[in-house]
């Protein structure tokens, strides 16, 4: 319904879905083109917005030996492209006890000894549709630099294409997920202001104020709402409100 | 493709007024916010307020309540299964708590139910994490900075955003649990963006009086989703995940309590009965119903299934007459149409600008006001910018952000969108984006209490599938919050419910038979089937040639 208009007007081009030729409007993404051809997705389609990693696609162009990659939901079709989706690729994931696990490179290595089978061929980085420096974050994990590995792997959407191409048979994206969690919960600076607020609420500091608000008529609430002081857009982090009401 | 010549010319006009608009912003001279009276006037241009788009329900617990036709069509529809043909004396799966839906709400619920001692089965439609949660970019609200903010202000903001129609008990729970949710997520390893001294970075969002939007670069939802999913996977001894297995009907038992669900394996097309002592419904929203033909930001599986299932079992719906249109969806590049441009762009200072290069609304109004203002600008006022595909939009002036916050800010703070547009040869740090409202969020849904309970014993609700927290309009950043707050609440409640040894009894689909009888008596809907499960994007000419295919609704 929502997709009809483009296909009525645009020029048709040939693409090869798993080797079979279809004519599709040239403006479509690979995902919409596959649907246009008559497929109904069960696998290979999730968010349709470039973030869930369901739709990893590899393709070749005529006369070009290279492998190209893209997310089907984000990549526009090209004439004569030969494509297939890789909606799933088996990869081992190690379970771990997050609460007790130590945030050091050696602990990651113990869970994933195959880390050291990386031969630095860079196939993972080349195949990543998100331009993540996969090989570099694996190298950072091996060095024990979890902060760097977390930073380098942050845009990973876990489509699994890296694991499908790896000579060392690593599950890179699972390793990266583990490392990001170790960093976020155990190595990133503490956030005392959050803990302080949690405690204040648990101690009932705001309860009376909230109870009052809950009982108020809409008109009373509207008055308070309209009069509430706004933190200006350009205010510094340590901005202080004029009124201490409700704080 | 880059902007065509006609649009480049129009961009010059935007550039012409930019320096002055930046100067005004720096001086704190903003376009004034609308008064509550003016808001009411403006909202008349919002699609929710146009009566022809909705109709009263003819059956069920909320009979007489008028909602969008697209939703009413599914509520007034028969089950995918014939209740008389199902052998209820045996079942394929058994668990303490069945969680339906593997998004943020469902995953939080699974974790908490497990922590309360329950064995959990999480059944989800696509892959675990293929969900609206994964797509959230902008952030998650919480009053964590006691020196300038508090649950009191958060409460006021939520109520004002929802036009004071929200359910107070739900709002209280939302704002008072919020800081603990941030603590919990961080403790599980979520990487929220931090400033030098370790404090979490926070921004404004539409309708916030204090900067309380926490974020993880511009993939906040993905960071939360993948962290929760990873933890669920760690607990596989107690939590089993079933993918590509949507629930298509609830099971009750002879005592009227919820007792599981019928699951449908999308790949083998087989049905399975799952018996459970408690069920948490967490199926998320319904953007893929394309209400009023609008584009949507939602994931492929957002077809409102949970509302259909719960309603058939007897749970009323509320606030379902309001639908949230996100003010800023991509209007040009056609292949990216409908994709969300996070509100954080406006929070960071980007103006909304019409074809004359003029700002026409403060960019920090609540979403429905922004959407109505854009629609008004493009329709009655005729100040919209024409797109090459014959639609209209307005400019979101992203280059202002670099001028306000320093060169490189757009690229650093919005890497996802920067890359997306770079693929089209557009640098959004230098050129504005063309946007139009897009279907985004289901404000209403199944009625539930602050404990996650519903009127059916053993049936709990969490996340976008529920209604009441946000009243008639949700503010940005309060949904990611809501799903974790109420996901945890529902999981804990379901876990405790199981411990209280609820009465076991014979499984029943009586409620479905009764619903069918009601439909027949009202003379509606027996020719339609629901839930939809997946939207229909197969072109009509293809379908015509599928000579031997049989469609049950949108599924073959
Ligand atoms: C593009 C986008 C950006 C957003 N940005 C923000 C933001 O910045 N801040 C904010 O607070 N909110 C934001 N939101 C809203 C927020 O992300 C969602 O409202 C929220 O994540 C919903 O969570 P949920 O767990 O209820 O549903 P979901 O995350 O959608 O999860 C529901 C799950 O249930 C599954 N399911 C559906 N039907 C069935 C069935 N019949 N059986 C089994 N499983 C089923 C779905 O496939 C899905 O996996 C955004 C939403 C979108 C779409
Ligand atoms: S469908 Fe989610 S990344 Fe393409």
The residue out of A66, A85, A104 marking a domain boundary is A85
- Asked if omega into B333 is within 30° of 0 (cis), the reply is yes
Q: What are residue A17's phi and psi, to 5 degrees?
A: -90, 115
Q: How close A213 comes to chain B (CA, Å)?
A: 8
The residue out of B391, B423, B439 marking a domain boundary is B439
Total tally of structural domains belonging to chain A: 2
**Measured between alpha carbons, how far is residue B388 from residues A243, B142, B155 in Å?**
51, 41, 43
Please answer whether residues A140 and A152 qualify as being in contact, where contact means their C-beta atoms are separated by less than 8 angstroms.
yes
Give B 115-144 residues with CB within 8 A of chain A.
126-127, 129-131, 134-135, 143-144
| Residue matched to tokens 């609540």 | B366
Do B129 and B233 share a domain, yes or no? yes
Total tally of structural domains belonging to chain B: 2
Sign of the four-CA dihedral A215, A221, A225, A227: negative
In a domain, B375, yes or no: yes
Q: What is the CATH number for B9?
A: 3.90.700.10
Do B178 and B215 share a domain, yes or no? yes
The ligand whose atoms approach the alpha carbon of B109 most closely is 1
Nearest to B325 by CA among B472, B450, B437: B437
The residue out of A33, A68, A85 marking a domain boundary is A85
Total residue count of chain A as it appears in this document: 247
**Residue B549 CB coordination number (10 Å):** 10
Q: How far is CA B65 from the centre of its chain?
A: 22
Do B476 and B378 share a domain, yes or no? no
In a domain, A245, yes or no: no
Q: What is the CATH number for A205?
A: 1.10.1060
In a domain, B257, yes or no: yes
Domain that holds residue A52: 6-85
Q: Name the catalytic one among B312, B326, B364, B511.
A: B326
Sign of the four-CA dihedral B80, B82, B83, B88: negative
Could B164 and A45 be called an inter-chain contact, meaning their C-beta atoms sit closer than 8 Å? no
Do A178 and A190 share a domain, yes or no? yes
- B292: helix, coil or strand? helix
* C-alpha B228 – ligand 1 centre gap (Å): 14
In a domain, A187, yes or no: yes
Do B227 and B304 share a domain, yes or no? yes
Do A46 and A137 share a domain, yes or no? no
In a domain, B57, yes or no: no
Do A151 and A34 share a domain, yes or no? no
Is 50 exceeded by the pLDDT of residue A8? Answer: no
Please answer whether residues B284 and A46 qualify as being in contact, where contact means their C-beta atoms are separated by less than 8 angstroms.
no
Helix or strand holding residue B248 (H, E): strand B247-253
Give B 320-359 residues with CB within 8 A of chain A.
334-336, 338-340, 349
The ligand whose atoms approach the alpha carbon of B306 most closely is 1
CA-nearest residue, atom 3 of ligand 2: A50
In a domain, A241, yes or no: no
Q: With a threshold of 0.90, tell me whether the complex ipTM lies above it.
A: yes
Q: Is the CB of A53 under 6 A from ligand 2?
A: yes
Do B222 and B161 share a domain, yes or no? yes
Beta-strand relationship, B466-467 and B445-447: parallel
| Residue matched to tokens 């299934």 | B305
In a domain, B513, yes or no: no
Nearest to B420 among A43, A50, A192 (CB): A50
Residue-level pLDDT, tens digit, chain B, 556 residues:
789 999 999 999 999 999 999 999 998 888 899 998 999 999 999 988 888 889 999 999 999 999 999 999 999 999 999 999 999 999 999 999 999 999 999 999 999 999 999 999 999 999 999 999 999 988 999 999 999 999 999 999 999 999 999 999 999 999 999 999 999 999 999 999 999 889 999 999 889 999 999 999 989 999 999 999 999 999 999 999 999 999 999 999 999 999 999 999 999 999 999 999 999 999 999 999 999 888 899 999 999 999 999 999 999 999 999 989 999 999 988 778 888 898 889 988 999 999 999 999 999 888 889 999 999 999 999 999 998 878 899 999 999 999 999 999 999 888 778 877 887 889 999 999 999 999 999 999 999 999 999 999 999 999 999 999 999 999 999 999 999 999 999 999 999 999 998 899 999 999 999 999 999 999 999 999 999 999 999 999 999 999 999 999 999 8
Task: Give chain A positions within 8 Å (CB) of B168.
Answer: 213-214
Do A65 and A165 share a domain, yes or no? no
Q: Is the CB of B470 under 6 A from ligand 1?
A: no
Do A127 and A79 share a domain, yes or no? no
Do B237 and B317 share a domain, yes or no? yes
Sort B382 into a burial class: Cβ within 10 Å, 0-12 / 13-18 / 19+: exposed
Do B315 and B331 share a domain, yes or no? no
For an interface test with A, give the residue of B21, B148, B216, B481 to mutate (most A CBs within 10 A). Answer: B148
- What is the largest distance, in Å, between two alpha-carbon atoms of chain B? 73
Task: Give chain B positions within 8 Å (CB) of A189.
Answer: 194, 197-198
pLDDT tens digits for range B33-51: 999 899 999 999 998 888 8
Share above pLDDT 90 across residues of chain A, in percent, rounded to a whole number? 91
- The CA distance from A125 to A131, in Å, is 7
- The CA distance from B14 to B357, in Å, is 4
Do A50 and A150 share a domain, yes or no? no
Do B289 and B149 share a domain, yes or no? yes
Q: How close B245 comes to chain A (CA, Å)?
A: 11
- The CA distance from B470 to B161, in Å, is 8
Do B24 and B142 share a domain, yes or no? no
Range B521-542 burial, b when 16+ CB lie within 10 A, else e: eeebbeeebbbbbbbbbbeeee
The ligand whose atoms approach the alpha carbon of B488 most closely is 1
In a domain, B370, yes or no: yes
Do A11 and A96 share a domain, yes or no? no
Do A71 and A137 share a domain, yes or no? no
Please answer whether residues B120 and B492 qualify as being in contact, where contact means their C-beta atoms are separated by less than 8 angstroms.
no
Please answer whether residues B294 and B282 qualify as being in contact, where contact means their C-beta atoms are separated by less than 8 angstroms.
no
In a domain, A238, yes or no: no
Please answer whether residues B502 and B84 qualify as being in contact, where contact means their C-beta atoms are separated by less than 8 angstroms.
no
In a domain, A1, yes or no: no
Do A135 and A203 share a domain, yes or no? yes
In a domain, A156, yes or no: yes
Q: What is the CATH number for A81?
A: 3.10.20.30
CA atoms within a 13 Å half-sphere pointing along the CA-CB vector of B34: 25
Do B427 and B483 share a domain, yes or no? no
Nearest to B138 by CA among B475, B444, B463, B429: B475
Nearest to A240 among B25, B130, B148 (CB): B148
**pLDDT band with cut points at 50, 70 and 90 for residue A9:** low
Q: What is the CATH number for B296?
A: 3.50.50.60
B518 at A interface, C-beta within 8 A: no
Residue A7, token pair as written in the block: 């296909």
* C-alpha B483 – ligand 1 centre gap (Å): 9
pLDDT tens digits for range B85-120: 999 999 999 999 999 999 999 999 999 999 999 999
**Residue A95 CB coordination number (10 Å):** 12
Do B98 and B153 share a domain, yes or no? yes
**Residue B554 CB coordination number (10 Å):** 16
- What is the largest distance, in Å, between two alpha-carbon atoms of chain A? 73
Do B144 and B197 share a domain, yes or no? yes
Do A172 and A67 share a domain, yes or no? no
Nearest to B217 by CA among B31, B418, B401: B418
In a domain, B542, yes or no: no
Could A181 and B151 be called an inter-chain contact, meaning their C-beta atoms sit closer than 8 Å? no
- The CA distance from A232 to B33, in Å, is 13
B35 at A interface, C-beta within 8 A: yes
Q: Which of B283, B347, B461 to mutate to test the pocket of ligand 1 (most atoms within 8 A of CB)?
A: B283
In a domain, B22, yes or no: yes
In a domain, B423, yes or no: yes
B326 has catalytic annotation: yes
- The CA distance from B178 to B468, in Å, is 17
Share above pLDDT 90 across residues of chain B, in percent, rounded to a whole number? 86
Residue B371, token pair as written in the block: 């959407």
- The CA distance from B310 to B319, in Å, is 15
In a domain, A233, yes or no: no
Q: How many helices and strands (H and E) does chain B possess?
A: 17, 21
Do A186 and A149 share a domain, yes or no? yes
Domain that holds residue B104: 83-322+443-507
Q: Which of B284, B339, B553 to mutate to test the pocket of ligand 1 (most atoms within 8 A of CB)?
A: B284
The residue out of B393, B409, B439 marking a domain boundary is B439
Please answer whether residues B215 and B134 qualify as being in contact, where contact means their C-beta atoms are separated by less than 8 angstroms.
no
Q: Is the CB of A41 under 6 A from ligand 2?
A: no
Q: What angle is formed at CA B83 by the lines to CA B78 and CA B88, rounded to 5 degrees?
A: 150
Q: Is the CB of B480 under 6 A from ligand 1?
A: yes
Do A157 and A95 share a domain, yes or no? yes
The residue out of B491, B507, B523 marking a domain boundary is B507
Q: Name the catalytic one among B128, B288, B346, B511.
A: B346
pLDDT tens digits for range A136-185: 999 999 999 999 999 999 999 999 999 999 999 999 999 999 999 999 99
B199 has catalytic annotation: no
Could B145 and A195 be called an inter-chain contact, meaning their C-beta atoms sit closer than 8 Å? no
């Amino acid at each position: 319904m929502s997709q009809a208009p483009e296909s009525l007007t645009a020029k048709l081009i040939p693409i090869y879905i798993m080797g079979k030729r279809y004519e599709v409007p040239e403006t479509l993404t690979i995902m919409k083109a596959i649907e246009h051809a008559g497929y109904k997705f069960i696998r290979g389609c999730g968010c349709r917005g470039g973030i869930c990693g369901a739709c990893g696609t590899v393709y070749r162009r005529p006369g070009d030996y290279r492998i190209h990659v893209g997310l089907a939901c984000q990549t526009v079709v090209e004439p004569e492209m030969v494509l297939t989706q890789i909606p799933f690729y088996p990869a081992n994931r190690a379970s771990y006890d997050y609460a007790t696990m130590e945030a050091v490179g050696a602990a990651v290595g113990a869970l994933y000894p195959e880390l050291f089978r990386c031969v630095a061929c860079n196939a993972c980085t080349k195949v990543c549709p998100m331009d993540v420096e996969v090989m570099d974050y694996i190298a950072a994990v091996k060095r024990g630099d979890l902060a760097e590995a977390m930073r380098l792997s942050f845009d990973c959407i876990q489509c699994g294409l890296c694991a499908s191409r790896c000579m060392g048979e690593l599950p890179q994206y699972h390793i990266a997920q583990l490392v990001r969690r170790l960093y976020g919960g155990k190595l990133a600076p503490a956030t005392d202001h959050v803990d302080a607020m949690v405690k204040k609420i648990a101690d009932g500091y705001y309860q009376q104020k909230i109870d009052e608000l809950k009982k108020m008529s809409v008109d009373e609430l509207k008055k308070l709402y309209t009069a509430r002081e706004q933190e200006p857009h350009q205010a510094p982090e340590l901005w202080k409100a004029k009124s201490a009401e409700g704080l | 493709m880059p902007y065509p010549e006609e649009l480049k010319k129009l961009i010059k006009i935007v550039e012409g007024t930019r320096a002055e608009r930046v100067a005004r912003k720096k001086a704190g001279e903003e376009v004034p916010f609308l008064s509550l009276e003016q808001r009411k006037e403006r909202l008349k241009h919002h699609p929710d307020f146009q009566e022809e788009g909705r109709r009263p329900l003819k059956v069920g617990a909320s009979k007489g309540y008028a909602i969008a036709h697209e939703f009413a069509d599914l509520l007034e529809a028969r089950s995918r299964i014939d209740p008389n043909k199902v052998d209820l004396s045996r079942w394929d799966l058994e668990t303490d708590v069945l969680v339906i839906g593997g998004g943020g709400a469902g995953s939080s619920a699974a974790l908490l139910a497990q922590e309360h001692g329950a064995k959990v089965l999480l059944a989800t439609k696509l892959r675990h994490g293929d969900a609206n949660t994964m797509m959230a970019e902008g952030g998650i609200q919480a009053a964590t900075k006691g020196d300038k903010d508090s649950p009191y202000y958060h409460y006021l903001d939520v109520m004002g955003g929802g036009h004071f129609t929200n359910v107070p008990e739900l709002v209280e729970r939302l704002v008072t649990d919020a800081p603990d949710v941030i603590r919990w997520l961080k403790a599980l390893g979520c990487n929220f963006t931090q400033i030098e001294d370790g404090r979490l970075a926070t921004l404004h969002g539409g309708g916030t009086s204090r900067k309380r939007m926490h974020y993880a670069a511009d993939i906040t939802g993905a960071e939360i989703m993948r962290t929760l999913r990873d933890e669920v996977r760690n607990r596989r001894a107690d939590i089993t995940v079933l993918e590509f297995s949507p629930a298509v009907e609830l099971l009750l038992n002879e005592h009227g309590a919820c007792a599981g669900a019928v699951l449908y394996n999308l790949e083998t097309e087989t049905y399975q009965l799952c018996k459970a002592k408690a069920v948490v419904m967490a199926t998320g929203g319904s953007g893929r119903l394309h209400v009023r033909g609008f584009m949507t930001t939602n994931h492929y599986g957002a077809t409102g299934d949970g509302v259909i299932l719960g309603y058939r079992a007897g749970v009323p719906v509320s606030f379902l007459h309001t639908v949230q249109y996100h003010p800023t969806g991509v209007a040009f590049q056609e292949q990216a149409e409908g994709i969300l441009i996070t509100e954080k762009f406006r929070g960071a200072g980007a103006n909304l600008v019409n074809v004359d290069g003029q700002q026409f609304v403060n960019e920090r109004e609540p979403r429905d006001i922004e959407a109505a203002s854009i629609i008004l600008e493009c329709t009655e006022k005729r100040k919209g910018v024409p797109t090459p595909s014959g639609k209209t939009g307005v400019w979101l002036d992203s280059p202002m952000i670099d001028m306000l916050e320093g060169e490189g800010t757009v690229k650093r703070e919005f890497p996802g969108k920067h890359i997306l547009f770079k693929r089209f040869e557009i640098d959004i740090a230098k050129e504005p984006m063309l946007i139009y409202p897009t279907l985004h969020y289901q404000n209403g849904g199944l009625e539930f209490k602050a404990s996650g309970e519903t009127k059916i014993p053993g049936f709990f609700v969490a996340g976008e599938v529920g209604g009441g927290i946000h009243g008639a309009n949700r503010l940005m950043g309060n949904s990611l919050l809501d799903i974790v707050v109420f996901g945890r609440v529902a999981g804990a409640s379901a876990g405790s419910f199981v411990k209280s040894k609820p009465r076991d009894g014979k499984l029943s689909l009586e409620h479905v038979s009764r619903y069918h009888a009601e439909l027949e008596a009202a003379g509606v809907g027996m020719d339609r089937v629901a839930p939809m499960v997946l939207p229909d994007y197969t072109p009509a000419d293809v379908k015509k040639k599928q000579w031997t295919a049989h469609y049950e609704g949108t599924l073959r």
